[in-house]
Structures are given as C-alpha cells and as structure tokens.
Amino acid sequence: MEEHQELVALVDRHTSDMEVETMAQSMAELLIEQGMARGKVDGKVEGIAQGKAEGIAEGIAQGETRAKQMALLKLLQFRFDTIPQALTNQITSIQSRALLDALFEQVLAAQTLEDINWQNHNEG
C-alpha cells in the first residue's frame, strides 16, 4: 500500500507540474500575442502620425512655392503689363523657392523682360 501511495503522490506531483507548465506556457503565449498586437497598434499609430506630419510639411512647402510663383507673376504683370504664356508656364513649373526669390529680385531691378537672365534659371 505504501508503494501505491508513493506512486499516487508521484503521479499527482507530475500531473501538477505538467499543469503548471502548461498554464505557464499558455500565459507566455498570451502575453506574446498581446505584446505583438500592442506593437502593431503602436506601429500603426506612429506611422499615421509620421505620415500626417510629412504631408503637412509637404503641403506647406508646396503652398510657399505656389505663393512665390504667383508673387513673381504678379510683379512681372505690374512691371511689364503683358507676360508671354511661355514665360508664365516656365515660372509655374519652377519648384525651387530660392530660384523664384532670385528671379523676383532680378525682376525688381530689370527695365525690360530681356534684362532678366531667364536662361540661367531653367530647372532641369
């Protein structure tokens, strides 16, 4: 009988150890899944925020470029009345704000459209 009780006790301990191990493994798997899900959510949130910030910055830059193009065209019209369509198209295709600023300064000083060095300001 004593041997039987020892065997039962050994089986009980072994069964209990297996249950604890199974529960620990299940808990670890659950925590891993939760961590992965949280990481995905955090990654999406961070990606959306970064995308919005980049979009806003790009929109601001495009708006500044467009404003400089329009200011240059308005100055040309004010100074020289009629502006050839080809020149208008050229100016609206320029994306460099520094280049638009340089042209604006040249237009301020120019007496005629021919005084402006348009050839050195073409963007490639």
Chain segment 53-77, per-residue pLDDT in tens: 888 888 899 999 999 999 999 999 9
Q: How far is CA 80 from CA 17, 94, 107, in A?
A: 93, 20, 10
pLDDT at residue 122, rounded to an integer: 52
Chain segment 18-40, per-residue pLDDT in tens: 676 776 677 667 777 777 778 77
pLDDT at residue 117, rounded to an integer: 83
Residue found under tokens 């470029």: 65
**Domain range list for the chain:** 2-121
* pLDDT of 13 above 50: yes
pLDDT at residue 124, rounded to an integer: 41
